[in-house]
Chains A and B, each alone.
Chain A
Amino acid sequence: MAGRAGSGAGMVEGALWRKWVFFYVPLTFFVVGTLFPFYWMLVTAFRPDGELYRPWRAVNNTPFWTTQPTVEHVLYLFTQTMFATWLWNTMFIAIVSTMISLFCGLLAGYALARLRFPLAGGLGTGIFVTYLVPPTLLFIPLADIIRDFRLGDTPWSLILTYPTFLIPFCTWLMMGYFKTIPKELEECARIDGASRLRAMVQIIFPIATPGILSAGIFAFTLSWNEFIYALVFLSSPQQKTVPVGVVSELIRGDVFFWGPLMAGALLGSIPVALIYSFFVEHYVAGLTGAVKG
């Protein structure tokens, strides 16, 4: 169980140098390579502006540390912009649209994976095909729909449109996961007197919990990061989401407010990172199921 799968060292003899070369060194490269931009963003968020504009070869250039950290950027972010409001908006929109997508994806995934009915193949393909049209084109006709339903400038304009690209993803993931659960489980339950519906809800769904978690986490992340729909369908500053608000307020013409911008980027990732760290073990287990043939 203790990670025997994978490369190298299960052996004991001569293992130490192998371990270093094949494990610790590459791992360090990955960690450094993946995370150094965040380290840089962190430093920039707390660096006084005067130190920021130092050319790369300037003698006093210290890109990776600062001797005079300041919280003024974070304060600016919270007092001069509506960052807290945007955080709340984005959280609300992401949670609700994730729940809607999970609900639809769960039911649709079960139906497509487990049940035989006419048009199953066609509908399944149809759901998936909608994923192929880019949002950079879709937002234009979607604006018509938003107008017709009078959803403009409300969070519902996003809560109801995000599922259009989240549902195909959730459905596909859940389909894969359901395929790994033995059919016998349902059959036993039904023999014992449960209806199909009850078997589905009370037996299968609980087993699928890890899969649901993983789909939910990915869906949440995609909603959290979305930009173009949020830009076009929301107009009041109080309604905006983090990506749109931060970019609009902190980039004025040809001047970027780098300190608050990076602070916004980091603070805008923390909620999602916290959720991830909480669920990551479950999530990993969840995807195991979605994979098996």
Chain B
Amino acid sequence: MDAESLNRRKFMTISGAAAAAATVGIEGILAARQAPAHAQGTKLHLLRWNDFVPAADEVLLKQMPEASKALGAEVTLERINANDLQARITAAISSGSGPDIIHVLKNWPHLYEKSLADVSDVAEATGKAQGGFYPAMTELCKVGSSWRAVPHAIVGGQIAYRKSLFEEVGAKEFPKTWQQYREVGKKLKAKGYPIGQTAGHTFGDAPVFWYSFMWAWGGKEVEKDARTVAINSKETVESVKFAVGFWKDACDEGGLAWDDSNNNRAFLSGTISATINGASIYVESLRNKEKYKTEKGALMHTDILHAPNPAGPAGVFHLHAPFSHAVMGYSKNQKLAKDFLRWLHGKEQFEAWFVAQKGFSVGSTTDWEKHKMWDLDPVMLPYRTAARAFRLYGYAGPPGRAASEVESKYIITDMYAKAIQGMKPEDSVKWAESELKKIYA
């Protein structure tokens, strides 16, 4: 959170390791003590989502004028709803004009591959300087042999749960398997505090839950060859059957109508006892301590703990929300943009932002697991290593355009939703299979 004013020496140390003998880039400019080489009046436009953690956005907003001064160009940050990013990206790419750098989520680097500039130099340098990217981030941002986006952060998903309620039904520790989770959930639902998950058409929470659920049973969308549809398997059918039982026994059945924000509200109002989410529930309860109380009158934030997904027959899996920055191919300021990204993703700038996040977003490299910030709050500790177990859409194939289509058509989510609403599990899996076959044809 401490936005130190720009210090030239520090500037050089940030980027120094990343671009050793470089005389290009910011450090080169500063070393030469010359006016920046970019034309006067150049503007750099960065488009990002409106971060859930306002403090982190404030850090970014403070960093913009610093960057502007260092680069000799005006850097502006525009923020919109994550949901609306793709509409802007589509219009921008179609018309060939718009923001220079855009925040890309999920596997969009694959989707928009041809319209994004090659940022291999920035990405590889950053990764090397900060301990190496998580393999999932590499897979997401590197398409073929070139990087189309520089990984920025990961919003990890962990299960937030009510410590006291779980203890009341005899679970001193968070359940380790789905079977145990279901049993605990059954008891909790009987007391009026079910588990809550969405099975609706939501941008974030639905895929995060249902994809990892399917993987926990060993289900997958396609084989490694990225062509053979593999979803109609015994494992998947088992997972669907379990899901139906799990839903009826343990879940808040309103979840079919939930969007990404409903589980936050339900948890904070005390109507559900557990849900998988980013850390937004906990962070919100910390931000407004007095607003959220448990039914016993205690402050909600004292009763929240986090845990990773329970294990299914095939293990523990997670799908997180990855965030990267891409330089648009139509941008006239690509070099400037890359310099900016090198600076923004550099240790010092990223650190300021990372600390403000308090763990809601984690770094995309393993170095950030070691940061002191994690010592501050033990409740957030599970998020520290969350990104290690990070599987991607389209498993076991690559997270390419077909995987995007499956995800944005909510095929996996609907496969479970249909069964929950009464369709026979075999039929809903067959439906998903036919849809996938059309997509992967």
Q: Which residues of A does B touch, CB under 8 Å?
A: 49-50, 53-55, 139-141, 143-144, 146-147, 152, 228, 231-232, 235-237, 244, 247-249, 251-256
Contacts and interface: CB of A to CB of B under 8 A. Distances in A.
A140 B86 CA distance: 12
14 contacts: A50-B291, A53-B292, A55-B270, A143-B92, A143-B95, A147-B96, A152-B97, A231-B84, A236-B76, A252-B50, A252-B52, A253-B51, A254-B277, A255-B284
Contacts of A237: 78
B268 interface: yes
Contacts of B94: 140-141, 143-144
Given A55-B269, A147-B96, A249-B50, A139 B91 contact: yes
B290 interface: yes
Nearest to B47: A235
B423 interface: no
Interface string B60-101: 000000000000000010111110100110111011111100
A255 B261 contact: yes
B82 A253 contact: yes
Given A55-B271, A254-B261, A248 B81 contact: yes
B127 interface: no
Contact of B204 (A49, A146, A249, A254): A254
A137 to B, nearest CB: 11
The 3 closest A-B pairs by CB, nearest first: A253-B52, A53-B269, A143-B95
Nearest to A148: B95
B280 interface: yes
Nearest to A49: B291
Given A143-B92, A144-B95, A253 B280 contact: yes
Contact of A235 (B45, B265, B268, B278): B45
B277 A143 contact: no
A249 B47 CA distance: 14
A152 B91 CA distance: 11
Given A231-B84, A253-B51, 7 more contacts: A53-B265, A140-B91, A143-B94, A251-B81, A252-B54, A253-B49, A255-B264
B113 interface: no
Contact of B51 (A231, A247, A252): A252
A23 to B, nearest CB: 38
Interface string B280-291: 100010001011
Interface of B: 45, 47, 49-52, 54, 76, 78-82, 84, 87-88, 90-92, 94-99, 204-205, 260-261, 263-265, 268-271, 277-278, 280, 284, 288, 290-292
Contacts of A256: 261
A213 B418 CA distance: 50
A49 B268 CA distance: 12
Nearest to A229: B91
A141 to B, nearest CB: 7
A248 B95 contact: no
Contacts of A50: 290-291
Nearest to A231: B84
Contacts of B277: 254
A201 B427 CA distance: 68
Contact of A232 (B87, B96, B269): B87
Nearest to A228: B87
A248 B280 contact: no
A251 B50 contact: yes
B81 A254 contact: no
A232 B205 contact: no
A256 B280 CA distance: 12
Nearest to B97: A147
Contacts of A232: 87-88, 91
Given A54-B269, A237-B78, A253 B90 contact: no
Nearest to B259: A254
Given A55-B271, A143-B91, A253-B49, A236 B78 contact: yes
A160 B165 CA distance: 58
A141 B264 CA distance: 38
Nearest to A146: B95
Contacts of B98: 152, 235
A256 to B, nearest CB: 5
B132 to A, nearest CB: 28
Given A140-B94, A235-B47, A254 B280 contact: yes
Contacts of A152: 97-98
Contacts of A253: 49-52, 82, 204, 260, 278, 280
Contacts of A231: 80, 84, 87-88
Contacts of B97: 143, 147, 152
A244 B97 CA distance: 20
Contacts of A251: 50, 81, 261
A241 to B, nearest CB: 13
A235 B84 CA distance: 12
A47 to B, nearest CB: 12
B208 to A, nearest CB: 11
A252 B79 CA distance: 10
B92 to A, nearest CB: 7
Nearest to B290: A50
A254 B260 contact: yes
Contacts of B47: 235
B45 A254 contact: no
Contacts of A55: 269-271
B80 A248 contact: yes
Nearest to B321: A253
Nearest to A152: B97
B269 A254 contact: no
Nearest to A51: B291
Most buried by B among A140, A144, A248, A252: A252
A244 B205 CA distance: 24
